[in-house]
Amino acid sequence: MNGNLMVSSSPHIRSNETISSVMRDVIIGLVPAAVMGIIFFGVTAAIEIAMCILAAIVAESIYNKIAKKPNTIKDLSAVVTGLLLAMNLPALSFDTHPIAIFVMPVVGAFFAIIIAKQLFGGLGQNFINPALAGRAFLLASYPTLMSGSAFGPTGFLAKAGIDAATYATPLASIKQTGDAGATLIQGLIGNTGGTIGETCAIALIIGGLYLIIRKVISWRIPVVYIATVFIFTTILKFAGVPAAADRLPVQELFYGGLMLGAFFMATDYASSPVTPKGQLIMGFGCGFITTLIRVFGGYPEGVSYSILLMNLCVPLIDRYTAPRTFGYSKVKAKEVK
Amino acid sequence: MNLKTFKIGGIHPPEGKEYTEDKPIEIIMPETGALMVFPMSQHIGAPASPIVAKGDRVLLGQKIAEAEAFMCSPIHSSVSGTVKDIKPMLTPGGTMVQSIIIENDGLFEEDPSLGKDTSFESFTREQILDKIKNAGIVGLGGAGFPTHIKLNPPPTDKIDSIIVNAAECEPYLTTDHRVMLEKTDRLVQGLAIMLKLHPGAHGYIAIENNKQNAIDAMVKAVQGFDNISVVALLTKYPQGSEKQLIYAVTGREVGSGKLPASAGCIVDNVDTVLAVERAVCKDRPLMRRIVTFTGDAVNNPGNYQVRIGMNMNDFIKAVGGFKEEPSKIIAGGPMMGKAIYSTDVPFIKTSSALLCLTREAATLPPESNCIRCGKCVSACPMGLMPLNLNQDALSSDMAAFEAHHGLDCIMCGSCSFVCPAKRHLAQTIIAYRGEVMASKRKK
């Protein structure tokens, strides 16, 4: 028997959690919102989701092939990126945009996977959220399709006569007319204008809670993010800022991309802080910038840009929020740095 | 009971204690003719010096190696027999160490100095320390720090707490658990002896709450001792690490690079305290220890009292061997134990367990990219950022490694355990930490 024993450094056991189990949990967390998106936005939503995921997997495979690296699609991170990208796309009408429905997801997914993720070193090395980078790229490439009239619900329930919302997202409507044009209940269940995955707040909260319970993400970023939007909007409103006069803090939470952004986008591992304190700052920064853009900015919605901006601050945040090492007094810890 | 624990980090690995926690301690004796090997270095510090020669007949309990340096501990024969040779032999640590080899004559003839049942009450502080030193007692939890030195810190450190480390947070290990159930009163006696060395100090027996029957037994046993209490701890790894245990019990933080005595504490492992009782009250030196033999490859997992110096192969045969060829054998627990490459080695003072894993259990998943999930940061009980230290170690950046407090790593392995990317965090940090410390010593 001697001579055949394996020798390695301790520890000799590992938890069952793997990258693919984490990614699988994220996918499970997104399923409710994706299903609601398909219900409200119809078959084209399903096509776009499928196209995004497929294109992300293909992009990852092609890159790995060219770069002569082992294929990493089994870790499911490309599927997550594709799915998240789809959640950020409007459901286009098959009649008016028969080509864009297929092309737009491919362009976005290739940009997300190859430019934002792989060129910076692949999984864990991307400094911005790949799906949001893909969305930002599409917003520049297809400005009319990615905003405005493309957002209307066209799905089964919408056609069946449930109050079809106007062809503007509630946040855009608030910006233009001062009125959301949809009830809060519509926002909660998702029967409003918006991207495929952002409208059903309830589904997103359920998915987000699942991730927190499974310990895939911590509560810090989403809770602080959402709370900051609520509190900051309240302050602006009651401070008498004219631009915030028409805004109801509760509406700000359930209309637009806040829930999707807070639970699924700002918590992206690679582009969010690893320290507990840093995660609080990340949540606060996202909430602060989101509210600034919504209230004062030219765009009706600020979730994606706030997260992208905060992504850029993450290395700095991590650097200055390192936890106190056990056995060092607070004063001493500062001296060391 | 109010459960205590340490505040930052910690993990919950699968316990694996169910295989052996109900198995009473069985005594395994070496066979007649068996060769017993006593390495001269079974502790932290200078090796002991042999005081017997080839061909000598030695008795059970006879001192065969003397401690000449300050940081050292003597060694005793655990059998009677003949000294066959004195030469370098392989140890569980993987190195060759000068060792005394004694052939067991099977008579177990005791040295006359052994076995006087005495009460410790009449002994002076010096007498007690002397007995502990002469009994060759070192920390049996794994570190092997000479106990007489630990119990006698510099007078500037005022000791007010003596903690019996019965957390036994390492998965699979159950020896402390069994000792508390089977040798309850003697454990309390051992602690009482240590408290006599530090009048005014309070004794704590700190037990994790996955050993409720041990907590109950100890609570009952300490009734009538107003200077001893039992502390129930919320089960969490690495609670048995000195610094985490002191924090859990007293709320004090041992400073970076400092010893427990600087926080007024002495921490000793259960088996060590038991050895103190035997040395002081029964005049018996350290000749045996209790080990857990377990893992999915073994036939009869259990807790065994073995003679120090006994060959591990002989022991494995005596307790029923393997049901499946093990792929990995770990001296100690799965989190901090050391994988050994040969079982043709003796049990030494610090061998706490033999964990034998099949190929299936021993195979570790391949490493992939860090995904920056931050789980290692949340798991680290020292407040370190293992992902950064891993990078510092891989790029051999000594300055960054020290600035990130890499030398404060307690090597518990929590970061590697939780990492979903299965990165070798602890492994690289521990290896590089050794390098950094060695280069500092050179300066």
Facing residue for A123 by CB, picked from B343, B362, B369: B369
The sheet that has B265-269: what strands, in order across it? B228-233, B202-208, B161-166, B265-269
Task: Indicate the helix (H) or strand (E) that contains A100.
Answer: helix A100-110
CA of A269: which chain B residue's CA is closest? B373
Residue B36 backbone dihedrals phi, psi, to 5 degrees? -100, 135
Give me the number of domains chain B comprises. Answer: 2
At residue A148, the pLDDT reads: 57
Question: Mutate which of A7, A10, A221 to test chain B, going by most B C-beta atoms within 10 A?
Answer: A10
* B430 vs A contacts (CB less than 8 Å): 9-10
- Distance separating alpha carbons of residues B23 and B198, to the nearest angstrom: 35
Flag if B335 and A12 touch (Cβ within 8 Å).
yes
At residue B96, the pLDDT reads: 94
CATH topology of domain A19-320: Ammonium transporter fold (1.10.3430)
Is residue B164, in this structure, part of any structural domain at all? yes
Listed in order, strand segments (DSSP E) in chain A are none
* A1 vs B contacts (CB less than 8 Å): 322, 325-326, 343
Flag if B385 and A269 touch (Cβ within 8 Å).
no
At residue B360, the pLDDT reads: 86
Flag if A17 and B385 touch (Cβ within 8 Å).
no
Co-location of B132 and B239 in the same domain? yes
Question: Mutate which of B371, B410, B414, B416 to test chain A, going by most A C-beta atoms within 10 A?
Answer: B371
Is residue B216, in this structure, part of any structural domain at all? yes
Question: Mutate which of B5, B170, B256, B429 to test chain A, going by most A C-beta atoms within 10 A?
Answer: B256
Six-digit token pair at A298? 């030219």
At residue A166, the pLDDT reads: 44
> Does the pLDDT at position B115 exceed 90?
no
* B258 vs A contacts (CB less than 8 Å): 327
Average per-residue pLDDT for chain B? 93
How far is A128 from chain B, CA to nearest CA, in Å? Answer: 13
CA of A324: which chain B residue's CA is closest? B383
Give me the percent of chain B exceeding a pLDDT of 90.
84
Flag if B416 and A11 touch (Cβ within 8 Å).
yes
Is residue B424, in this structure, part of any structural domain at all? yes
Query: Which residues, listed in sequence order, are joined to residue B227 by a DSSP beta bridge?
Result: none
> Does the pLDDT at position B383 exceed 60?
yes
Flag if B421 and A8 touch (Cβ within 8 Å).
no
Co-location of B133 and B248 in the same domain? yes
From first to last of the 337 residues of chain A, give the pLDDT tens digit. 456 888 999 999 999 999 999 999 999 999 999 999 998 888 889 999 999 999 999 999 999 999 999 988 999 999 999 999 999 998 887 777 889 899 999 999 999 999 999 999 999 999 999 999 999 999 999 888 887 555 666 555 554 444 444 456 888 878 777 777 778 888 888 888 888 999 899 999 999 999 999 999 999 999 999 999 999 999 999 998 888 888 888 888 998 899 999 999 999 999 999 999 999 999 999 999 999 999 998 888 899 999 999 999 999 999 999 999 999 875 444 433 3
Residue ranges of domains in chain A: 19-320
Contact B436, B398 (CB under 8 A): yes
Picking from B239, B264, B282, the residue at the C-terminal end of a domain is: B282
Flag if B370 and A19 touch (Cβ within 8 Å).
no
CA of A122: which chain B residue's CA is closest? B369
Is residue B167, in this structure, part of any structural domain at all? yes
Picking from B257, B282, B307, the residue at the C-terminal end of a domain is: B282
* Residues sharing a CB contact under 8 Å with residue A270, sequence separation 6 or more, in sequence order: A123, A124, A125, A126, A127, B371, B372
* Residues sharing a CB contact under 8 Å with residue B145, sequence separation 6 or more, in sequence order: B43, B44, B138, B139
CATH number of the domain within which B206 lies:
3.40.50.11540
Write down the ipTM of this complex.
Answer: 0.89
- Distance separating alpha carbons of residues A292 and A301, to the nearest angstrom: 10
**Residue where the block lists tokens 């001579």:** A3
Q: How far is CA A336 from each of CA A325, B371, B412, rounded to the nearest angstrom?
A: 11, 27, 24
How does pLDDT run across B419-441, given as a tens digit for each residue?
Answer: 999 999 999 999 999 999 999 88
Co-location of B149 and B276 in the same domain? yes
Is residue B150, in this structure, part of any structural domain at all? yes
Picking from B282, B307, B322, the residue at the C-terminal end of a domain is: B282
Is residue B276, in this structure, part of any structural domain at all? yes
At residue A152, the pLDDT reads: 63
Is residue B96, in this structure, part of any structural domain at all? no
A-B Cβ pairs (cutoff 8 Å, strict):
175
* A3 vs B contacts (CB less than 8 Å): 341-342
Question: What range does the domain containing B247 cover?
Answer: 17-22+115-282
Is residue B432, in this structure, part of any structural domain at all? yes
Q: How far is CA A233 from each of CA A121, A188, B107, rounded to the nearest angstrom?
A: 38, 19, 87
